[in-house]
A and B are shown apart, each in its own frame.
Chain A
């Protein structure tokens, strides 16, 4: 079965960086875009960007363009999202999610359990 398992909670200081991992299994890793979505406490969902495991190409939401980097390790079917220059308003749960459609972007059908990132001095 398809599974996405994320790394654990992190506490970071303002200005630092955080890297969240997303270990996938149960499907052809290179066939489906991997997205990252975040959710601040008590707030809604915010799409951050995607990475195409087939090409390594990325597409970031404009809001995160200069601070986010999405990468892969295809040998272990794992994706990573690194966010730099953290601020207190980056405190959120960060989810990875698989695109439902092979080789395209449509919507997200399988999600990781989320990783809480807390930014505090």
Chain B
């Protein structure tokens, strides 16, 4: 089973600054997505297939990476971006999904 590790666990950032979130896998991953979750809400898909933005997601969100190392970058944090971010990997065999433990982005 592939295990995902996200770092840092908590990131304190000021509005307007850049946030860089890391997701590392215990073995090579073929498909990775990123989600944002705010308190009391369901998760929202931000990035799929490593770097493609989901419908309606602002351009300040970008994804990159390959193999075992992936990054979500928020180029200039807006007040509404303070939330928890999860990475998600899809396995082809055995078929299934695993989430990372999450990174909380707090206001500095």
B-binding residues in A (CB < 8 A): 35, 37, 44-47, 49, 59, 61-62, 95, 97, 100, 105-109, 111-114
Contacts and interface: CB of A to CB of B under 8 A. Distances in A.
B80 to A, nearest CB: 18
Interface stretch (B20-28, B58-66, B71-79, B91-99): B91-99
6 contacts: A45-B35, A45-B37, A106-B33, A107-B90, A111-B42, A113-B42
A107 B88 contact: yes
Interface of B: 1, 31, 33, 35, 37, 42-45, 48-49, 54-55, 86, 88, 90, 94-102
Given A106-B48, A108-B45, A112-B42, A45 B33 contact: no
Question: Which applies to chain B's interface (DSSP): helix, strand, loop or mixed?
Answer: strand
Contacts of A106: 31, 33, 48-49, 90
Contacts of A97: 42
B42 A95 contact: yes
Contact of B54 (A35, A61, A95, A109): A109
Contacts of A46: 99
Contacts of B96: 47, 49, 59, 61
Given A105-B90, A106-B90, A107-B33, A114 B42 contact: yes
A45 B45 contact: no
